[in-house]
Amino acid sequence: MPLIKRGFRAAKPLAMAMGLSALAADKDVEVVVVDAGDAGLAGDAAAALGGRIGTPTPDDMLVAVVAPGGNAAHIAPVVGEHRRKGGDAVVALLGTPVQRRRAERALLADPDVEMSVILHVDALDAAGRDALRAAVVRGLAARAVAAGRRHAPLRDEVARGLERRAARRAAVVASTPGISGAAMPLLTVIQARLASDLTGLSGGRPDARSAGQVAGIAVAAPLWRATARRLITAVPSAETAVRGGLAYTVTRGVAAGARRLAPAGHDPVQEER
């Protein structure tokens, strides 16, 4: 009986991680591009993001692209009103530095448009599209997984962000002095949440496969903890670096495994239609 109780205690935080991940993936969020005076640029932005051109609801991410030398004054109230309703936004300003600064001043004339929503890029070329996707994912924050499920062009950027944050968080937890006994359960939860988020990002749902993957993370934990102990014994002066580095590397490995096991060719948006 004590063994069963320990098993339930160990499984509970992992089940919570999977549940929270499923809730995050099911949030209702869409990326909507607002025409800022150049229909061609709006179409290019929508294609780069996998979004649509239209009028966003407060739950949606508003995106606008201001052409070089374009008039940003007429889009500023639209962005400001969206922000007042609690919506997120990214406005990409294109052109020369002088043109972008002029557009920036016009946008900031609205009191609810902040610098945090403004993105400066030279053009909406390959580098500009990458920068726009990255800015949109940053702006979505906790809703990025849900948006990535809906908008395929965002998935790689969302996955990279999830992996980076989880690996860095794991490294910090593992290398923090004085919490070595509590670190392993925390690391296992971080890795389980990462694996579940990556599965949800690809359109998967909690099932036997994802549960097995999370269970595998828990089972593997003692193995790499033993590896850490051996390395620390060999180089005791590098204990902090060993713990942090190993946690970082293993978490990256969890992400690689989750990507390999993720369902392929799944498009939740098409299924909704």
Q: Which tens digits make up the pLDDT trace of 2-25?
A: 434 444 454 556 556 555 565 555
Tens-digit pLDDT profile for residues 209-224 = 555 555 555 555 556 5
Residue 172 sits at the vertex; the CA angle it makes with 169 and 174, to the nearest 5 degrees, is: 105
The pLDDT confidence band at residue 196, using thresholds 50, 70 and 90, is confident
HEC letters along the chain: CHHHHHHHHHHHHHHHHHHHHHHHHCCCCCEEEECCCCHHHHHHHHHHHCCEECCCCCCCEEEEEECCCCCCCCCHHHHHHHHHCCCEEEEEECCCHHHHHHHHHHHHCCCCCCHHHEEECCCCCHHHHHHHHHHHHHHHHHHHHHHHHHCHHHHHHHHHHHHHHHHHHHHHHHHCCCCHHHHHHHHHHHHHHHHHHHHHHCCCCCCHHHHHHHHHHHHHHHHHHHHHHHHHHHCHHHHHHHHHHHHHHHHHHHHHHHHHHCCCCCCHHHHHC
CA dist., res. 228 & res. 155, Å (int): 33
Task: Out of 31-35, 146-150, 267-271, give the one with best mean pLDDT.
Answer: 31-35
Q: What pLDDT is recorded for position 235?
A: 63
Q: What pLDDT is recorded for position 67?
A: 95
Q: What pLDDT is recorded for position 259?
A: 75
Q: What pLDDT is recorded for position 247?
A: 81
Average pLDDT of the chain, as a whole number: 80
Judge whether residue 88 has pLDDT over 90.
yes
Q: What pLDDT is recorded for position 4?
A: 40
CA dist., res. 72 & res. 102, Å (int): 9
Q: What pLDDT is recorded for position 263?
A: 60
Residue 27 sits at the vertex; the CA angle it makes with 267 and 149, to the nearest 5 degrees, is: 20
Judge whether residue 205 has pLDDT over 90.
no
Q: What pLDDT is recorded for position 270?
A: 39
